[in-house]
Amino acid sequence: MKNKFLSRFDYFILLAIAILVTMGVMFIYSSSINTEGLSVTNEYKKQIIWASIGLVLLVIVAIYDYRRLESISMWLYIGLVLVLIYTRIFGRLVNGARSWLGIGEFGIQPSEFGKIFFILFLARYLDNSRNENQLKRFFIAMGIMMLPMGLILIQPDMGTASVYIPIFLFMCFMADIPIRYILYVTSFGLLTIFFAILPVWNSEIAKNPLAIISILTNIKFRVILIFTTSFIASISLILRRYFHFPKYMIWIAYCFSIVAFALIGSMLFSKVLKYYQIKRLIVFMDPNTDPLGSGWNIIQSKIAIGAGGPIGQGYLNGTQSHYRFLPQQSTDFIFSILSEEMGFLGGCLVFFLYLLIFVRILFIIKQCPNKYGTYIASGIFGMITFHFFINVGMVMGIMPITGIPLLFLSYGGSSLLTVMMCMGLLMSINSRKKDLY
Q: Give residue 333's identity as a one-letter amino acid code.
A: F
Any idea what DSSP says for residue 283?
Answer: G
pLDDT at 7: 60
Q: What is the pTM of this model?
A: 0.91
Q: Give residue 10's identity as a one-letter amino acid code.
A: D
pLDDT at 6: 60
Alpha-carbon gap, residue 413 to 254, rounded angstroms = 43
pLDDT at 389: 94
Alpha-carbon gap, residue 206 to 283, rounded angstroms = 11
Alpha-carbon gap, residue 280 to 278, rounded angstroms = 5
Q: Euclidean distance between the first and final Cα of the chain, in Å?
A: 18
Max Cα separation, the chain? 79
Name 96's Cβ contacts closer than 8 Å, sequence gap at least 6.
Answer: 156
Alpha-carbon gap, residue 163 to 393, rounded angstroms = 15
pLDDT in tens, the chain (437 residues): 455 556 667 788 899 999 999 999 999 998 888 777 667 788 889 999 999 999 999 999 999 989 999 999 999 999 999 999 998 888 887 767 778 886 556 678 888 999 999 999 999 999 999 888 999 999 999 999 999 998 988 887 888 888 999 999 999 999 999 999 999 999 998 999 888 888 888 877 776 777 777 777 788 888 899 999 999 999 999 998 888 788 888 999 999 999 999 999 888 877 777 676 777 778 887 788 777 777 888 888 888 888 888 988 988 888 877 777 777 778 888 999 999 999 999 999 999 999 999 999 999 999 888 899 999 999 999 999 999 999 999 988 888 888 789 999 999 888 999 999 999 999 999 888 766 54
* Phi, psi for 289 (deg, rounded to 5): -70, -20
Within 10 A of 301 (CB to CB), how many other CB atoms are there? Answer: 28
Alpha-carbon gap, residue 76 to 60, rounded angstroms = 18
Alpha-carbon gap, residue 417 to 246, rounded angstroms = 54
